[in-house]
Amino acid sequence: MCGFLCFVSGNPDHLPLIPESLLIHRGPDNVSQVSYRNTIIKHWRLSIVDLSSSSDQPLEDNDFILAYNGELYHYEELGRSLFRKTYSSDTKLLFDILSKGNKRLLKGISGFYSYLFLDKMANIIRGSRDVWGQKPMFFHISENKAIFASEDTAIQHLLGHSGNVDSNGILNYLLFKDRFMGKTCFANIHELAPGSEFKFNIANWNFEVDKDWQSFYEEKFEDHVSNNQHKEASTTKLIDSINSSIDARFNCDVPVQICLSGGIDSS
Indicate if the pLDDT at residue 106 is higher than 90: no
Confidence bin at 137 (pLDDT 50/70/90): very high
Residue 70 vs residues 32, 48, 107, 116: alpha-carbon distances, Å: 17, 10, 15, 12
- Closest of 128, 151, 126 to residue 140, by C-alpha: 151
Residues 213/10, Cβ–Cβ less than 8 Å? no
- Closest of 159, 164, 166 to residue 181, by C-alpha: 166
pTM of the entire structure? 0.87
Give whichever of 121-125, 168-172, 173-177 has the largest mean pLDDT.
121-125
Percent of the chain clearing pLDDT 90 (strictly above) = 54
When pLDDT is averaged across residues 91-113 and rounded to a whole number, the result is: 87
Indicate if the pLDDT at residue 230 is higher than 60: no
Longest Cα–Cα distance in the chain: 66
- In degrees to the nearest 10, what's the CA dihedral of 126, 5, 72, 49? 150
For residues 237 and 96, the model is more confident at 96
How high is the pLDDT of residue 104? 76
Lowest mean pLDDT among 103-112, 146-155, 236-245: 103-112
CA atoms within 13 A on the CB side of 211: 8
How high is the pLDDT of residue 221? 52
How high is the pLDDT of residue 172? 81
Cis amide linkage into residue 16, ω under 30° from 0:
no
* Close Cβ partners of 263 (under 8 Å, ≥ 6 residues apart): none
How high is the pLDDT of residue 30? 96
- Closest of 94, 68, 72 to residue 83, by C-alpha: 94
